[in-house]
Amino acid sequence: MSSQPFDDIAQLTLSNVPSEHMSIAQHSDGRWEDCVLKPYAPIEMQPLALGLHYAQIVFEGMKAYRYDNGDVAVFRIEKHHERFNKSLARMCMPEIPLSHFRDGIVDLVRADRSWVPPGPDSAFYIRPFVIANEERMGIKVSDDYLFMVVGGPFRPLYARPLRVRMERVFARAVAGGTGFAKCAGNYAAAMLPTQLAQQDGFDQVIWTDAKEHRVVEESGTMNVMFVIDGVIVTPALTDTILDGVTRDSVLTIARDLGLPISERMITVDDLAEGLRAGRVTEAFGVGTAAAVAPIGRIAIDTEEFALPVLPTDTMFTLKNHLNAIRYGQAPDVHGWMTVI
């Protein structure tokens, strides 16, 4: 893969253009070896590697930002590491020490720092992942694993306000299942319903509970937030909802600013009633790849509601404050940034 100045690819969203290096560590005999930095290249796996068949695969999505002064910093390594280990534990995979996780990321970003584009909105997307690597036909918990970190330059996934559909047929996660884990299977299972919604002209679905399709959970690739009667409302975390790092960061910023927030159960009926009455004034998604993405239209069964996106929206206040920290324009009061 030849090196490419990010100017040429600044127009891309989550791109297919990897940077020049990758970090890799093996797990065998019950322990993680140290991370090694290598040129980005295909990896060798046996066709019978367990992860390829039984989906013991867990990943994270993170970003590094270029400060206005040229420094490069990674956002919330510890919080992502905490979630990574929760996902690994749910999939019977060995947790990874913070030192390995941090080394893999820092080594990659340090080596490829020229690939970190300047803002606004652009970033270097970082994808740590673990895959089961034991060669075995029968199903079992793998004894061997690969941890890798790859990355590439990035612009937000959604460039314009989204049109979303409340999902009333398919389910993403069930109570007691893997919904809270960032495991590959969750994303595979979401593909058909998302594709069907996209064929009907929607960008994404909003998932509802698997049993009755009555309770709002999250949107594809992002957590979801609403402004209802002036309060920022988001579904409370359960085992069917991903504990989003952007979700947590936006809520922290809202608290810092003294904005009212409520983490609670939201039913589809209450949301529809609030939309009809004009009490729901904003909807937006929050996620690493999505960033803070306005939702301009929500379809619920046979009704479709338009939500005008205004520059005065609370969503932009939250986004601007978050970006100010990420691009080094405001003090990092919560210790979120690791300058490389």
Nearer to ligand COI (CB atom), residue 196 or residue 259: 196
Residue 61 touching ligand COI (CB under 6 A):
yes
Which residues from 2-41 bind ligand COI, rule CB under 6 A?
Answer: 14
Residue 266 touching ligand COI (CB under 6 A):
no
The pairing of strands 291-300 and 162-166 is parallel
Instruction: Say if residues 338 and 73 touch (Cβ distance below 8 Å).
Output: yes
Q: Alpha-carbon distance 32 to 68, whole Å?
A: 37
Give the interface segment with ligand COI, choosing from 16-24, 143-151, 171-179, 287-295 (CB under 6 A). Answer: 287-295
**φ, ψ for residue 208, nearest 5 deg:** -120, 170
Give the interface segment with ligand COI, choosing from 18-26, 76-84, 203-211, 288-296 (CB under 6 A). Answer: 288-296
Both tokens assigned to 284: 């937006």
Q: Alpha-carbon distance 168 to 175, whole Å?
A: 17
Residue 242 touching ligand COI (CB under 6 A):
no
Which residues from 214-233 bind ligand COI, rule CB under 6 A?
Answer: 221
Count of residues that interact with ligand COI, criterion CB under 6 A: 8
Residue 173 touching ligand COI (CB under 6 A):
no
Residue 187 touching ligand COI (CB under 6 A):
yes
Residue 288 touching ligand COI (CB under 6 A):
yes
Nearer to ligand COI (CB atom), residue 181 or residue 228: 181
Q: Alpha-carbon distance 247 to 223, whole Å?
A: 6
Nearer to ligand COI (CB atom), residue 117 or residue 287: 287
Q: Alpha-carbon distance 137 to 121, whole Å?
A: 45
Q: How far is the CB of 258 from ligand COI (least distance, A)?
A: 28
Q: Alpha-carbon distance 164 to 43, whole Å?
A: 37
Residue 287 touching ligand COI (CB under 6 A):
yes
Q: Give just the sign of the alpha carbon dihedral 244, 249, 250, 254.
A: positive
Q: How far is the CB of 244 from ligand COI (least distance, A)?
A: 8
Calculate the CA dihedral of residues 75, 79, 83, 86 and round it to 10 degrees. Answer: 150
Residue 189 touching ligand COI (CB under 6 A):
no
Task: Collapse the DSSP code of 113 into the 3-class scheme (helix H, G, I; strand E, B; otherwise coil) and give the result.
Answer: helix
Q: Alpha-carbon distance 290 to 54, whole Å?
A: 28
Q: Alpha-carbon distance 317 to 320, whole Å?
A: 5
Residue 151 touching ligand COI (CB under 6 A):
no
Nearer to ligand COI (CB atom), residue 54 or residue 187: 187
- Catalog residues that contact ligand COI under the rule CB under 6 A: 14, 61, 187, 221, 287-290
